[in-house]
Amino acid sequence: MAAQVKALLRRATARDALEKYDEAERDLKEVLSLEPNNRQAREDLQVRSVFSESKTPQLSCPSLPQTLRTHKAEMTAQQAAIRAGQQHQNTFDPMGMR
């Protein structure tokens, strides 16, 4: 279930960047149906409702909610850490035989 939530959050971020706001909102609501206390989805929906109420045109890059950008940065950092761990693991020599 955690993998599904992560995938939905990523897809919501991507759809927001593509200006598919209704689809992004559906993904965020689905996250909340799976994890009602998911802070990321709640914050993103809250930001989205503020934009909807103000009737401010939403542009993909300049108005991308900060929480979505933060989420993307966190995911990128996690992926880099995983790759670094895999590289380190490939060079690990437990017997010191090198």
* Domain-located, residue 60: yes
Over residues 63-94, the pLDDT tens digits come to: 456 667 777 778 888 888 888 776 555 555 55
* Domain-located, residue 95: no
- What is the C-alpha to C-alpha distance for residues 93 and 95, in angstroms, rounded to an integer? 6
* Domain-located, residue 41: yes
* Domain-located, residue 85: yes
Over residues 43-59, the pLDDT tens digits come to: 988 887 766 655 545 44
Listed residue (73, 65, 6, 72) closest to 34, CA to CA: 6
* Domain-located, residue 98: no
pTM listed for this prediction: 0.53
Residue 59's pLDDT is what? 47
Give me the domain span that covers residue 23: 2-90
* Domain-located, residue 74: yes
* Domain-located, residue 22: yes
* Domain-located, residue 57: yes
Domain count, the chain: 1
